[in-house]
């Protein structure tokens, strides 16, 4: 009888572990300009630990929206090359704080058609804000919590050019860049003006086993894990400050490299504390 109980217990553990390794995950990427390099470090760690490959839906705002599109279609080596080499050179092109032409040039180096493939994964959502009464929207959102978000599922787009325009729209920083007119005829600006940490598209449309939320603030005022206690949410929060406006507008090589390294080390620490190991060595240790 004891052997039967032990055998049953081991079988249960085996299938439980299989279920854990077959889980699907969601990823939420916050906005924050140049601080988005931190998200690249997080994604690199998730990739090395075999978790990025199981992310079936990504929702992003502003630079998080740009990264969402990039993570969905590009290998890690290309993502790192874009951030370390192209972003410092082209994003401040012509002495602009954020060059729309430079950003568009960078995006043209990426093939987003993979997102359009039938039944393609991950699903990619970006958030933007209609460019009307922006000041009033910011005030009423702050005091009354009104959500002015417009959310777009890029996988539904017929045109790769429209995907790029929606990526431009979600990252159209107010004042510094122009609003972007989309195919619906409306002009849009940065999604951070309405929802800078867009978990809603995931919880309203999908049911992932776990949701990873990446913040770009050392001490975020609102944590999605606390706001949505019924969901399994893991918060990735920078272990040190990355600056506010200065950090958002700093696209220098040295700062990008530092923030990427910070995102990577913070994430590895969390994964190690959870008992996980890199997929390259997991079966041999």
DSSP string, 96-159: -SS-HHHHHHHHTTS--HHHHSTT-SSEEEEEEEESSSHHHHHHHHHHH----EEEEEGGG-S-
pLDDT above 70: percentage of residues in the chain: 84
pLDDT score of 141: 67
**Tens digit of each residue's pLDDT (9 = 90 or more) over 30-56:** 999 999 999 999 999 999 999 999 999
Q: With a cut of 70, say whether residue 212 has pLDDT above it.
A: yes
Q: Please state, in angstroms and rounded to a whole number, the distance separating the CA atoms of residues 228 and 221.
A: 14
Confidence band (pLDDT; 50, 70, 90) for 229?
Answer: very high
Q: Please state, in angstroms and rounded to a whole number, the distance separating the CA atoms of residues 180 and 162.
A: 11
Q: Please state, in angstroms and rounded to a whole number, the distance separating the CA atoms of residues 220 and 140.
A: 20
pLDDT score of 148: 80
Q: Please state, in angstroms and rounded to a whole number, the distance separating the CA atoms of residues 70 and 103.
A: 13
**Tens digit of each residue's pLDDT (9 = 90 or more) over 170-210:** 999 877 788 999 999 999 999 888 899 999 999 999 999 99
pLDDT score of 162: 95
Q: Please state, in angstroms and rounded to a whole number, the distance separating the CA atoms of residues 82 and 89.
A: 10
CA-CA distances (angstroms) from residue 110 to 36, 118, 148, 241? 18, 19, 30, 31
Q: Please state, in angstroms and rounded to a whole number, the distance separating the CA atoms of residues 180 and 167.
A: 10
pTM, two decimals, is: 0.88
Q: What is the mean pLDDT of the chain?
A: 86
pLDDT above 90: percentage of residues in the chain: 65
Q: With a cut of 60, say whether residue 6 has pLDDT above it.
A: no
Mean pLDDT over 5-31 rounds to 58
- The 10 Å Cβ neighbour count of residue 128 is 33
pLDDT score of 133: 65
Closest CA to 191 of 98, 127, 100: 127
Apex 106 CA angle, 105 and 107, nearest 5: 90
Q: How many residues does the chain have?
A: 285
Q: With a cut of 70, say whether residue 168 has pLDDT above it.
A: yes
Q: What is the DSSP letter of 83?
A: I
Q: Please state, in angstroms and rounded to a whole number, the distance separating the CA atoms of residues 46 and 42.
A: 6
- Tell me which residue has tokens 């439980």: 16
pLDDT score of 142: 65
Q: Choose between 228 and 20: higher pLDDT.
A: 228
CA-CA distances (angstroms) from residue 155 to 115, 162, 190, 198? 5, 11, 20, 17
Q: Choose between 141 and 89: higher pLDDT.
A: 89
């Amino acid at each position: 009888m004891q052997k039967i109980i032990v055998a049953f217990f081991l079988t249960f553990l085996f299938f439980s572990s299989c279920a854990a390794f077959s889980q699907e995950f969601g990823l939420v990427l916050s906005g924050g300009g140049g601080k988005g390099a931190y998200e690249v470090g997080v994604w690199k760690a998730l990739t090395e630990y075999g978790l990025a490959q199981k992310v079936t839906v990504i929702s992003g705002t502003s630079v998080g929206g740009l990264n969402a599109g990039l993570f969905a279609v590009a290998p890690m080596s290309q993502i790192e090359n874009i951030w370390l080499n192209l972003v410092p050179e082209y994003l401040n092109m012509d002495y602009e704080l954020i060059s729309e032409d430079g950003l568009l040039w960078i995006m043209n180096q990426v093939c987003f058609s993979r997102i359009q493939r039938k039944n393609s994964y991950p699903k990619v959502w970006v958030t933007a804000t209609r460019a009307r009464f922006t000041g009033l929207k910011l005030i009423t959102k702050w005091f009354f919590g009104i959500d002015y978000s417009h959310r777009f599922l890029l996988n539904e787009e017929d045109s790769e050019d429209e995907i790029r325009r929606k990526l431009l729209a979600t990252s159209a920083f107010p004042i510094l860049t122009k609003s972007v007119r989309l195919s619906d005829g409306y002009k849009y600006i940065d999604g951070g003006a309405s929802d800078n940490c867009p978990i809603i598209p995931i919880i309203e449309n999908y049911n992932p086993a776990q949701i990873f939320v990446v913040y770009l603030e050392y001490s975020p005022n609102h944590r999605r894990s606390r706001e949505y206690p019924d969901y399994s949410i893991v918060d990735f929060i920078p272990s040190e400050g990355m600056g506010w406006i200065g950090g958002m507008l700093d696209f220098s090589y040295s700062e990008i490299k530092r923030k990427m390294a910070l995102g990577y080390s913070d994430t590895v620490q969390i994964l190690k504390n959870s008992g996980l190991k890199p997929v390259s060595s997991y079966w041999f240790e």
